Amino acid sequence: MPELPEVETIRRSLLPLIQGREIINIEILHPDILINHDQRPLHGWEITGLRRRGKYLLIDLVQASDPAEGALLMVHLRMTGKLLYRTEEIEPTKHTHLRFSLKGENIAWLDFEDVRRFGRVWLLPAFGELENPGLASLGPEPLSAEWSLESFRDILQRRRTSIKAVLLDQTVVAGIGNIYCDEALFRAGISPDRPSNSLSTEETARLQEAVRYVIKEGIGHRGTSFRDYVDGLGGKGHFQQHLQVYRRNGQKCTVCGETIVKRKIAGRGTHICPQCQK
Ligand SMILES: [Zn+2]
């Protein structure tokens, strides 16, 4: 599943290609993927920006004929969704669910493809994301100053579930999934099954630093590609070559030489160095 670094990489790859262009048409190949409550028009929208919040992509729009009329395309890729920019028109596959045609000197296409079909696209009023329950309940962005040590510590002290479950909770901090969660806990030297409220202030600070580090590194390496994830131009990320524990079970820890193990914690396959993580 794409996490913050993957979604951010998609955003950065697409922004210069789609900003300022007009959506001539949205072709709907599978109607359950696009949620358009108010039946807004599917054409004539100029793309004014592309933002990210947590794992959501937010495409800001204005009507080309009436710039006072705004809208928003909100995209969640869930497990296997992809947004792919193409300058050559290809036959849609059975996994192509939406196709955006973009006006320009040469026409281009933005295809929403999704093998598992859990991904969704919403056409909303301008800044409609603020009314969306999933997005409105998101915690702070991990790289923002808004995510303070004090607020993080307060949340951890109020919860007794595993620290892994708390880090995966999008209302605590936005955008972290299984890969970056396991990597951050390893880097901080904290066992993922520790009760959240057992972490000292020093450990909490170390964990926050580790989260920020792995998220920045993940973005720097253009995300982690195992099977599905690619950026907006179909390019793979490279962070899988730098992972310390995720999917390295059975291999030796790069720090201490102990064998990395995999256990189920918070309902997820969790990768741990039993020696480095206490
Ligand atoms: Zn180790």
What are the pLDDT tens digits along the chain (278 aa)? 899 999 999 999 999 999 999 999 999 999 999 999 899 999 999 999 999 999 999 999 999 999 999 999 999 999 999 999 999 989 999 999 999 999 999 999 999 999 999 999 999 999 999 999 999 999 999 999 999 999 999 999 999 999 999 999 999 999 999 999 999 999 999 999 999 999 999 999 999 999 999 999 999 999 999 888 999 999 999 999 999 999 999 999 999 999 999 999 999 999 999 999 99
Last residue of a domain, one of 136, 170, 192: 136
Query: How far does residue 267's CA lie from ligand 1's centre (Å)?
Result: 23
Last residue of a domain, one of 136, 169, 189: 136
CB neighbour class for 93 (10 Å; exposed up to 12, middle 13-18, buried from 19): exposed
With respect to residue 143, please indicate whether it lies within any of the assigned structural domains.
Answer: no
Q: How many other CB atoms are found less than 10 A from the CB of residue 144?
A: 10
Query: How far does residue 192's CA lie from ligand 1's centre (Å)?
Result: 14
Query: How far does residue 222's CA lie from ligand 1's centre (Å)?
Result: 26
Half-sphere exposure of 1 (CA within 13 A, CB side): 21
252 & 169 share domain = yes
Query: How far does residue 274's CA lie from ligand 1's centre (Å)?
Result: 7
101 & 179 share domain = no
126 & 168 share domain = no
Tell me which residue range forms the domain holding 14.
4-136
Return the pLDDT at 227.
Answer: 82
Active-site positions? 2-3, 55, 268
Q: How many domains does the chain have?
A: 2
Q: What is the CATH number of the domain that holds 12?
A: 3.20.190.10
80 token code pair: 């296997």
23 & 97 share domain = yes
